[in-house]
Structure formats: C-alpha cells, structure tokens
C-alpha cells in the first residue's frame, strides 16, 4: 500500500540532506519502486543503516504514525503527489514529505509570504509584524512563519483571522509543540490554518532542525520579510535561503541605535528590498502574482479619521516628542533635552503612552512609536 | 587688470545657469577675452542686458566688491584658476567663481564629504550628524554643508575643531549670513574653516538660490551623506545632484514610524548606500581616495577586541590577513593571492588599517602589524 511504503521510506531517510533520496525517488517514480531498487541505487557503505531499515521497517513506529494520521484534519503529503506544493518542489533539497495538521490544507498551495524575525523583538517590532501580517492576509496572502516567540508569533496572530490565513512550519513533530508557551497558538492555527512539519510525529525539536525548517518556510513562499533581527539571527539564514532560491527578500529598516535593525540593514545592503509599509510588498510581488494568475482580495478601508488629541496642540508636547526620538532614551535625558522637570516629563510621557505615541521600556527609558489607531 | 575683468563678468553673468558663460569662457580662455568677444559669442536677443553690463559695468558695485575682497582671509576664486576646486570644475554648470572667506582656503582642494539633512531633525538625528562629522573630520575628511539649522549646523559643529575641518556653502553673499541664528557659527567657520558662496557680497538669500547652492555642496564632495530628511526635503535635491554627478550617496536608515527617515529610505531604494556607522563611509570611499593618492589621518584608538570587529568573522577578511603576511606586499599581489578584485581588497585593507591590523606603506604596499588577537 502506498502510505505503508512511504512510512517505510521516511523511517529510512532520516538524514540531514534529502537530496540523494529525492534523486532516487525521481528515478524510481514511487516509494515502492525506490524501496525495491534501493540496494542497487544507494552505496552500501554510506547507507547501511537506511538499507536495513528499508528491508525491515520498525512496525511499532509505523503504527504510531498511522494512528496519528487516522485523526481528522491530518495528512502526509508526499513528494510527487498532487497536493505537494509546487513552489517547495523546486528546491533541490525539498522535503520528501510534509506532515500537516489543520482545517485549511488548501493553504499549502496558496500564495505565501514568510514573515520571520527576532525571538525577542521590541514592542514596535512585534506590532509591525502583526500589522503587516494582518494587512497582507486580509488581502489574500497566506502568512507563513515558524511558530517561534516574538516576530513569528506576532505574524501568525496578525494573519490568523484574515482571509489569507497562516501556516506554521515546525522544527519538530506536530505533536511536540515548541516553544511550549505557543501550544494555544498552535491549536488556534490548527483550527483556522495549517501546521506543517518535515519531522514525523514524536520527533523532538533539535537545534539542527531549525535551519532545515527555515528552508521550508522560505521555499513555500513567494518572498520572505524580515522584521527585526540581530546580525546573528536565524532569520538571516531564512532570508539567505530565500535569496538562494531566487525568491524576494524584504527587510524593515530601523534606528542605527537599535541592534535589532542590524540584521535587516545587512540584508538591505545585500540586495533585500527596503519596505516601510505592507503595501510596498504587494507592489513588489504584483508582477509575479499577475504572472501566476493569482488575484488578491480587494479591501475597502474606511477613510482615516483625524485623532482627537487636544493636548497635541500644546507646543511642550510637540517639543517633548521631538526630543524623545525613536530609540530608547532615559527619562533624565528627555527632561534635560526638553528643559522640563522630571515630574512634568513623567506625566506628559504617560499621556503620550496612553495615546500610543510613546512606549515605556524597562529601566525607565522611553521611545516614540508610530501613530496607531 | 584680471580681477577687474572678473568683477565686470560676474556683474553681467547673474543668470540661473552658468552653462553658456562657462562655454564662452572655455573658448576665450580669460575674462578679458570673453568681455571683448561677447558681442560676437552671445545672442543680442537673449543677452541684451548682460552685454550692456559688460560694456559699462556698475562701478559702485565693483568698488563694494573690491572693498570686501580687501579684508584679510577673503578671495575670489575664478573658474580656470589654479585654486578653483577640480572636482567642482567637472560640473557642466560649475560656478563661474567662488567668493570665499576663512583662514583655511586650502580646504577647497581637500577631500570632502557633504553631510546634509532636515532643518528640524530629531535630537537623535542631530547627534548622529555631529558624531559622524567628528569621526570623519578627525580622520581627515573635510565636512561640507549648507549652514542651515538642524543637520547642517550639527555637521559643521562636529567637524569644526577636527583636522579635516569644515566648509559652509551659502545661498547668499558671505556678508549676509542666513539663517541669522547661525551668525556665530559662521564666524567660527570663518575662523577655523571656510565660507563659500557663488553669490557676490550684498546678495540676499532667495529660495531659488538654495537648489543652486546645493549643486556646489554636492559638486565639491566625493560623496553626500543624508542624515534625516522627509520625502520633500531639499536634501534629496542635493543627493539627487550628487547621483547625477556620479558621486556616492549615503543615507542613514531609521524607524519606519519616523517621517524624517522617509527621505533616507527613498534614497536607499534608489541606490544610495545604507550606512550604520561613520566607518562604513570610509570603507566605501577607500578605493577612490587611494586612486587619488589621498591618505587619511590614522587615529590611534584603544586596541579593538574581536567583538568590535564583526567583519573579522567574515572568512574573506581572515583569508586576506593570512595571504598578506608581515612583509610589505603590493596590493596587486594581495588581490591575486586572495582571489579578490583590487577594489574589494582596497576597501577591506582600509577596514583592517582602521582597526590597526595592517599598515599602509609607501608605494601602495601593505603589511600586517604584529598584533595578537
């Protein structure tokens, strides 16, 4: 039976690179044929263990996998099958199969944008990720990310209830949600979107799996947006993979004093598109969407209403905002620059914070925020 | 007498474009010859007023100009003369002459970087301009700007006391300082640097003069750095002129919520180099400085730790140090051994030189310095 042959093949093929298996599979055209041909195709030296596993697969493991697959809204999508996403299949090291769970398996074939970034972003960065994800998903792009804390989570949340929906690609089996704090978010994504993994049920997360997982996030997507990332962030790996795959890379700039902007600036220097607004991404992707015959959803927005902030006509508030700036600043510096007492500055900052114009940061520091509604 | 002929020519040539005058001047090779030939070279329809002025110049005006020039540290530097800055002379609409005032007329020929930006920057933006100007001037680049409030003023102040010094280019006569609030700064620049204008003494500022003035700022400089600017800022004109003149343009990114970053982001999308640190600019300008035989000042900094040198984790820098060795090596040999272009090696060597890891020797040779890491 087809699924049984695949469960055998996947037991044997647990390697970092899927390349030799994919090549063998393309030659043999089915998992059954590959299993039969394997002793002739794969070198006995390198693949001794894999060949042994193909000859006698572990039945309890296959049973557990079958049991997992028997539950509703779960599937194994194998390379070469109709449901395997075409964009991902282009990768020379595409996954042999994807384990998926969720009510929206059709999302796999939808036009996707990856949004990734720091696990510890600024409040502004999280908000930007969530707003960009909401805007783009509202217009029909599916937002794909990695379920990590920070930018990943914010992106999933922004897209979750919108028409484009969201896909989370995991670096572990779908029954081993990591980070644990995102178990409720994963459950919501399963209920409204799709969870995806190359790793079989029961596989625990491993640091080697995350760069592998990142190639899937980039590979499923038309482009990858990096929101906030240090120079050492794993998001830069995802962006690099996207570039290598010939996909668009987008990055959001930030203050030169914000270490979380450094990764984005590095990408922009390497050719990533600088984006200031979510609409910039649609403009960049438009030719490709058009070429592939993908129509996005038209959203009619209510006209913007002027905000009612009478205190903003007070010049001292305007001055305060001007001296504050967009990078974290201690309150003492703000009061010195504005030539106001700390008490005055304190109460003015609170007012501005309530209006969403400034952000209070740990250590008594403040920074300006963009205007929110 | 030469100066008299020029004072006559400048009275006649008060036009927005200097192009036809420059062409005539290049043909005639002197102001005297041009005055003599003008009736044959310039159409009587278009240049009636100018031809009349050439025939009978206004003597009281010429007297006032002579009087201004008679004071110490003042000069009129005419196109074609030895002191006229070579880089500016490349412009098809170069000024016919520059009125200058200050103790450092030699700055006109020095390697310059223009720093420009908003007249109402954030505190952070002002500080960045001042810090970049100080760092670069300390290393021997002259900082050229427009004496405006905001970024211009901060840039002049940062450079004023450093070895590279500063030049202010005005959009009015040098005796009509604008904005008035910068009169003390102008006096300081005259005492330690140089004030420059295309406009004769007595000419009041006019909004049409500022874009004209901007072409001189860009034209004197190897490159132009924009620090903070809205999308409508005049700084974008300066940057555009620099691009059109084939000069480097640098821009500092900022938060997407900071309207003063929008102009910079726009420039980066148009091909300006994104810079996070002042040293980035030296690295970009290195090949050109080297080509022109300009050596910057070496600043002795406390020994850098590997953490301060993120580029050292780049394998190509490691390779470069390895192939360089401790004996003087021509740059061509280094580039051949490292399998990199001369331009790449040049900029990498400058970075290493700034960090005190290599030494530049006469004759374009380099060697490693014995520094333990």
Burial class of residue B195 in the structure, from the number of CB atoms within 10 Å of its CB (0-12 exposed, 13-18 middle, 19+ buried): buried
pLDDT digits (tens, 9 = 90+) for B283-308: 999 999 998 888 887 765 554 455 55
pLDDT at B1: 43
Residues of B in contact with A273 (CB under 8 A): 269
Is B254's CB within 8 Å of A257's CB?
Answer: no
In sequence order, what E strands does chain A have?
74-78, 97-101, 112-116, 142-145, 166-170, 194-197, 223-226, 248-251, 273-274, 329-330, 358-361, 365-368
Mean pLDDT in chain B?
A: 90
Q: Which helix (H) or strand (E) holds B78?
A: strand B74-78
Backbone angles phi, psi at B221, to 5 degrees: -105, 150
Is B124's CB within 8 Å of A327's CB?
Answer: yes
* CB nearest B310 (choices: A231, A258, A261): A231
Give the integer Cα–Cα distance in Å for B359 and B361: 6
* CB nearest B276 (choices: A256, A327, A337): A256
pLDDT digits (tens, 9 = 90+) for A154-173: 999 999 999 999 999 999 99
Choice between B252 and B364, residue whose per-residue pLDDT is larger: B252
Does ipTM top 0.90? no
pLDDT at A372: 40
- The DSSP call for residue B260 is G
pLDDT digits (tens, 9 = 90+) for B17-59: 899 899 999 999 999 999 999 999 988 888 899 999 999 999 9
Q: Which helix (H) or strand (E) holds A88?
A: helix A86-89
| Per-residue H/E/C for A240-267 | HHHHHCCCEEEECCCCCCCHHHHHHHHH
pLDDT at A303: 41
- Is-cis flag, bond preceding A179, omega within 30? yes
Is B262's CB within 8 Å of A277's CB?
Answer: no
CA dihedral for A64, A65, A70, A72, sign (positive or negative): positive
**Residues forming a β-bridge with A367:** A359
pLDDT digits (tens, 9 = 90+) for A234-276: 999 999 999 999 999 999 999 999 999 999 999 999 999 999 9
Q: Which residues of B touch A (CB under 8 A)?
A: 120, 122-125, 128, 252-258, 261-262, 265, 268-269, 273-274, 276-277, 310
Give the integer Cα–Cα distance in Å for A264 and B55: 63
Q: Which residues of A touch B (CB under 8 A)?
A: 124, 128, 231, 252-258, 261-262, 265, 268-269, 273-274, 276-277, 322-327, 337, 368-371
Q: Which residue of B has its CA nearest to A250?
A: B269
Give the integer Cα–Cα distance in Å for B41 and B39: 6
pLDDT at B224: 98
Give the integer Cα–Cα distance in Å for A28 and B308: 53
Q: Which residue of B has its CA nearest to A322?
A: B122
Q: Contact at 8 Å (CB) between B141 and B286? A: no
How far off is chain A from B121, nearest CA to CA, in Å?
8
Angle between helices A59-70 and A2-12 (to 10 degrees): 120
pLDDT at B23: 92
pLDDT digits (tens, 9 = 90+) for B182-238: 999 999 999 999 999 999 999 999 988 998 999 999 999 999 999 999 998 999 999
Is A253's CB within 8 Å of B276's CB?
Answer: no
Give the integer Cα–Cα distance in Å for B294 and B300: 19
Mean pLDDT in chain A?
A: 90
String of DSSP letters for B312-352: GGSHHHHHHHHHH-SS-EEHHHHHHHHT--HHHHHHHHHHH
Q: Which of A126-135, A189-198, A324-333 has the lowest mean pLDDT?
A: A324-333
Left if phi > 0, otherwise alpha if psi is -120 to 50, otherwise beta: which for A102? left
Q: Cα–Cα distances in Å, from B246 out to A185, B91, B101, B160, B216?
A: 52, 10, 28, 27, 14
- Is-cis flag, bond preceding A291, omega within 30? no
Q: Contact at 8 Å (CB) between B323 and B338? A: yes
CA angle B81, B84, B89 (to 5 degrees): 110
Residues listed for chain B: 373
Output the pTM of the full model: 0.79
Other beta carbons within 10 Å of B360: 19
Structure tokens at B265: 């982001």
Residues of B in contact with A368 (CB under 8 A): 255, 257-258
């Amino acid at each position: 039976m087809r699924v049984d042959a695949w469960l055998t093949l996947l037991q044997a093929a647990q390697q970092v690179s899927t390349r030799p298996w994919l090549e063998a599979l393309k030659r043999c055209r089915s998992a059954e044929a590959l299993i039969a041909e394997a002793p002739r195709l794969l070198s006995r030296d390198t693949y001794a263990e894999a060949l042994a596993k193909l000859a006698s697969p572990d039945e309890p493991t296959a049973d557990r996998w079958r049991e997992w697959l028997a539950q509703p809204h779960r599937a194994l999508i194998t390379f070469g099958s109709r449901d395997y996403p075409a964009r991902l299949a282009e990768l020379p090291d595409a996954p042999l199969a994807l384990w998926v769970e969720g009510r929206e398996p059709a999302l796999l074939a939808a036009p996707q944008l990856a949004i990734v970034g720091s696990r510890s972003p600024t409040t502004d960065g999280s908000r930007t990720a969530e707003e960009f994800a909401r805007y783009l998903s509202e217009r029909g792009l599916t937002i794909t990310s990695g379920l990590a804390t920070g930018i990943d989570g914010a992106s999933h949340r922004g897209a979750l209830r919108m028409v484009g929906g969201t896909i989370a690609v995991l670096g572990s089996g779908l029954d081993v949600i990591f980070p644990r704090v995102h178990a409720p978010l994963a459950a919501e994504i399963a209920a409204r979107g799709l969870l995806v993994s190359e790793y079989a049920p029961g596989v625990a997360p491993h640091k080697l799996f995350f760069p592998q997982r990142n190639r899937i996030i980039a590979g499923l997507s038309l482009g990858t947006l990096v929101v906030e990332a240090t120079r050492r962030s794993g998001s830069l790996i995802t962006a690099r993979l996207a570039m290598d795959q010939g996909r668009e890379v987008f990055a959001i700039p930030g203050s030169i004093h914000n270490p979380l902007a450094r990764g984005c600036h590095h990408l922009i220097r390497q050719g990533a598109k600088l984006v200031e607004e979510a609409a910039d991404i649609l403009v960049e992707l438009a030719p490709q969407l058009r070429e592939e015959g993908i129509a996005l959803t038209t959203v009619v927005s209510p006209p913007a209403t002027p905000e009612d902030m009478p205190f903003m006509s007070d010049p001292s508030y305007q001055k305060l905002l001007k001296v504050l700036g967009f990078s974290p600043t201690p309150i003492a510096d703000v009061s010195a620059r504005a030539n106001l007492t700390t008490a005055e500055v304190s109460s003015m900052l609170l007012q501005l914070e309530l209006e969403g114009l400034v952000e209070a940061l740990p250590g008594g520091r403040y920074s300006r925020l963009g205007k929110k509604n």
